[in-house]
Amino acid sequence: MMLKRILRLAAYPIFFTLLISCNSNPESTNKRSTKFQQYYVQGQTLYQKHCSNCHQSNGKGLGRLYPPVDYSDFMDNNFKEVLCAIKYGISGQLIVNDVDYNMTMKGIPVLTELEVAEIATYIYNTWTHQQGLIDVKDVSQILSSCDN
Ligand code: HEC
């Protein structure tokens, strides 16, 4: 009986620690934040306009022609390359989920850094991806290091 009570008491600090650690998430990366919602909604519109022709609205791509973005190990492992590809393009051999693509994707150089961040926030938080907000500050830094 006593042991049960001690265990119950011990649960409170654990509960509060969890609560505090959740709240200490930076506001901007919180998926319910206004900033996240704005990025996400804009990103969705931009994706429909610039990307869905090839990668499809459901992100599944098109056979051997266009690789998927819904579940993509390439996206998980090559974050920088993906951001650079959106603005500057990518070509040559590229393996996505064990399938070999050797095509060319043109970049969209007119996209602003904010628009790239919005698109990235959309594709990295839709389908199987759950990366949280991708801030324009980080995108700006990454884009300045693309070797294009
Ligand atoms: C005209 C067709 C086309 C359009 C439009 C296009 N892509 Fe691509 N995309 C491709 C092709 C083809 C590849 C593979 C390139 C290669 O083989 O080197 C690719 C590769 C990728 C990859 C890396 C591989 C993967 O699937 O994980 C990502 C991520 C990606 N594109 C995202 C986008 C985003 C975001 C947009 C819109 C801003 C976009 N693409 C617009 C054709 C397109």
Backbone angles phi, psi at 99, to 5 degrees: -105, 135
pLDDT category at 21 given cuts 50, 70, 90 is very low
Provide CATH code, domain 34-143.
Answer: 1.10.760.10
Domain ranges of the chain: 34-143
Q: From the CA of 105, how far away is ligand 1's center (Å)?
A: 5
pLDDT category at 1 given cuts 50, 70, 90 is low
Q: What is the pLDDT of residues 35-75, one digit of tens each?
A: 999 999 999 999 999 999 999 999 999 999 999 999 999 99
The answer to whether residues 49 and 108 touch, using CB atoms and an 8 Å cutoff, is no
Q: What is the pTM for the complete model shown?
A: 0.85
pLDDT category at 2 given cuts 50, 70, 90 is low
Q: From the CA of 119, how far away is ligand 1's center (Å)?
A: 12
Between 62 and 147, whose confidence is greater?
A: 62
Is the C-beta atom of 50 inside 6 A of ligand 1? yes
Whether the predicted pLDDT of 24 surpasses 80? no
Q: From the CA of 100, how far away is ligand 1's center (Å)?
A: 13
| Closest to 123 in 3D by CA, of 51, 38, 29, 30 | 51
**Per-residue b/e over 41-78, b at no fewer than 16 CB within 10 Å?**
ebbbebbeeebeeebeeebebeeeebbbbbebebbeeb
Fill in the amino acid letter for 44. Q
| Closest to 148 in 3D by CA, of 104, 121, 109 | 109
Q: In this structure, what token pair is assigned to residue 146?
A: 């693309």
